[in-house]
Amino acid sequence: MKSTKIQLPLQTSSLIAGFMVWVLISSLMPNIRQDINLTDGEVALVTAIPVILGSVLRIPIGYYTNRFGARLIFTISFIALLFPVFYISQADSLTDLVIGGLLIGIGGATFSIGVTSLPKYYPSSKHGFINGIYGSGNIGTAVTAFSAPVLASSFGWVTTVRFYLVLLLAFAVLNFVFGDRKEKKVNLSIVKQVKEVYRNSTLWALCLFYFITFGSFVAFTIYLPNFLVNEFNLTPVDAGLRTAGFIALSTFMRPIGGWMSDKFNPYIILLFVFGGLTFSGVLLSFSPTIEVYTTGVLTVAACAGIGNGTIFKLVPLYFTKQAGIVNGLVAAMGGLGGFFPPLVLTTVFSLTGHYAIGFMALSQFALLSFVIVLMMTFREKLKLENKVLENTAQGMLITNEKGVIERVNQAFTKVTGYEKEEAVGQKPSILQSGRHDQHFYSALWNELKDQGYWQGEIWNKRKNGEVYLQWLTISEVCNDAGNVKYYVGQFSDISESKRKIN
C-alpha cells in the first residue's frame, strides 16, 4: 500500500529531474557560446536536437513501461543519462554538443513513463487530474532555465553541467529502492497494439493536438533564453528568469486542465485552448515591444498548459489496452512539435528579418485544430445519440418525411424479426397486419399532423407472419423552420400483458 501511494510523488519528481536535464543545453547556451563559437543557425540546431530522441524514444518507452513497469524504466533512463551529461561537460565543438544533445533527449522521453504507469493506480474519473499533476513535472525545465545560468555565472557552465550527474545518480537510486515492484504489467505485442490503433482517427487527432500544445511549450522553453538575449538585449539571467516564468505558468495550468477535463467536456475545453493559441499567434506576429510580446507568450503558456492536461485525459479514455503505445505516440508528436518551430523561426528570420511568418504559422495550426475539435465534438454527440437509440429497451424506427425507414434499433429487430438491412429503405407498411382499415390509418395521420404525435394500440405483424398487439407512439421531428424532417416511432409488444388481463 505504501509503495502504491508513493508512486505519484516519486514519478512526478523523477519527471522533474528528467526535464531538468532535457533543457540543459538550451538554458546554458548564452554561456556556452562564450567558449564555443556558434552561428545562430547552429544554435537553433543544437537547442532543438535534444527534442529528437526525446520524442522518438517516447514510443518504445511507453510500451516498455506497460510491459516492465515504471521502476525499471526510470532507473535505466537515469543511468543512461549519465554518459551524455558528462560528455557535454567536456564539449568544445559543435559536433560534441550535437552528440551530447541528442542523447540527453532521454530526459524528455521519460514523460511516457508516468502517463502510462500512474493511471493504473486511480479510477478513470481522476485520470485527467493525476496525469495533470504528473505532467506538472515539466517544471523541471523552469528549474534549469532559471538556476543553470545563475550557477554558471558563479561556477562556470562546465561545472554546472557536472552538478547534474549527482542529480541523476540520486534519482536512479530512489526509483530502484522505492519504485513499485508489483505494478500491473501489460504484455501485448507492440506490433499488435499498433495494428489496433493506427487506423483510429482519434489517435491522430490527439497527436496533432499535442503537437501544437506541448510543442508550443517545448519550443518556447528552448528558444526563449537565446531569443530574449538577442532580440531584446536582456542578460542571460534575466532571460532565464522570464523563461522560468513561462514554464511555471504552463506547468501550473496543466493539472488545472486535467482537473477541468475530469469535471467538464474535454472537447469544449480544447476549443478555448486552440482559440487562445490562435489569438496569441497573431499577437506575437505583431509584437514590437517586450510588453506585448510577454502578453502573447504568457497566453501561449496558459493555453498550452491547459491543453496538455486535457489531452492526456482523453488518451486513457479512448485507449485502455493500448495505453502504453498510444501515450508514446501522442507524447512523441508533442516532442516533435517542439523540434521544428525553433528551426522554422530561425530560417524565417534569416530570410525576412523578422519572425511574423513563423508565429503566424502557430496561429494557423491552432485554428486548424480548433476546426477539428468542432468536428470531433459533433461526432461525439452523434455517437451518444446512436448509443441512446441502440440501448433503448423499446423498439424504435426513424423514417424520413416521406415515411421511408432510415434507422432501427436492436429492440426493433427483437420484436419484429426484421434485421436492420431488411427494414432500412422500406416503409412501415411492411409491419401492417391487415386488421385495420384505411379509415384507421387516415385518422392516425390526421391526428399526427394536428398534434405532432399519435399514440395508441395497433395490431402489427412480425416477419414470420405472427400478428401481435403493439403500444405505439409516433412523433414528428421538425427543423427550425417548422418543417417535418423525420418521424420517430417507439413501440412495445403488449400481447402477453393483454392476455393476462383478459
* For range 76-100, the mean pLDDT: 92
Instruction: Say which residue, 170 or 44, is predicted with more confidence.
Output: 170
Q: pLDDT at position 86, please?
A: 94
Label residue 1 by pLDDT band (50, 70, 90).
Answer: very low
DSSP 323-370: HHHHHHHHHHHHHHHHHHHHHHHHHHHHHHSSSHHHHHHHHHHHHHHH
CA 72 to chain centre: 26
pLDDT at 278 over 70: yes
Measure the CA–CA gap between 127 and 120, rounded to whole angstroms. 9
Q: pLDDT at position 407, please?
A: 86
Q: pLDDT at position 37, please?
A: 87
Percent of the chain having pLDDT more than 90?
Answer: 18
Q: What is the pLDDT of residues 449-466, one digit of tens each?
A: 888 888 889 999 999 989
Task: Give the number of other Cβ atoms within 10 Å of residue 354's Cβ.
Answer: 13
Q: What is the pLDDT of residues 371-399, one digit of tens each?
A: 888 888 777 776 666 666 666 778 888 89
**pTM confidence score:** 0.64
Q: What is the pLDDT of residues 138-170, one digit of tens each?
A: 888 888 888 898 899 889 999 999 999 999 999
Q: pLDDT at position 3, please?
A: 58
Mean pLDDT is highest, among 19-23, 71-75, 218-222, for 71-75
Q: pLDDT at position 286, please?
A: 79
Q: pLDDT at position 322, please?
A: 66
Q: Mean pLDDT of all residues in the chain?
A: 84
- Please compute, for residue 490, the number of CA atoms within 13 A of its CA located in the half-sphere on the CB side: 11
- In this structure, of 2-6, 93-97, 366-370, the range with the lowest mean pLDDT score is 2-6
Q: pLDDT at position 274, please?
A: 92
Contact (Cβ atoms closer than 8 angstroms) between residue 228 and residue 242: yes
Instruction: At 432, give phi and psi (nearest 5°).
Output: -65, 140
Measure the CA–CA gap between 474 and 454, rounded to whole angstroms. 5
Label residue 61 by pLDDT band (50, 70, 90).
Answer: confident
Alpha-carbon distances of 336 from 53, 103, 306, 333, rounded to whole Å: 9, 15, 19, 5
- The amino acid occupying position 127 is H
Measure the CA–CA gap between 362 and 496, rounded to whole angstroms. 65
Task: Give the number of other Cβ atoms within 10 Å of residue 122's Cβ.
Answer: 15
Q: pLDDT at position 291, please?
A: 85
* For range 69-96, the mean pLDDT: 93
Q: pLDDT at position 15, please?
A: 94
pLDDT at 272 over 90: yes
Q: What is the pLDDT of residues 289-314, one digit of tens each?
A: 888 888 888 999 999 999 988 887 78
Label residue 216 by pLDDT band (50, 70, 90).
Answer: confident
Alpha-carbon distances of 232 from 238, 239, 290, 330, rounded to whole Å: 11, 9, 7, 35
Angle (deg, nearest 10), helices 266-285 and 356-390: 170
Contact (Cβ atoms closer than 8 angstroms) between residue 229 and residue 30: yes
Dihedral of CA atoms 119, 124, 126, 131 in degrees, nearest 10, equals 40
Q: pLDDT at position 498, please?
A: 67
Instruction: At 480, give phi and psi (nearest 5°).
Output: -65, -25
Strands of the sheet containing 395-400, edge to edge, are: 405-408, 395-400, 484-493, 467-478, 453-461
pLDDT at 179 over 80: yes
Alpha-carbon distances of 485 from 4, 445, 454, 480, rounded to whole Å: 56, 15, 16, 10
Q: pLDDT at position 293, please?
A: 84
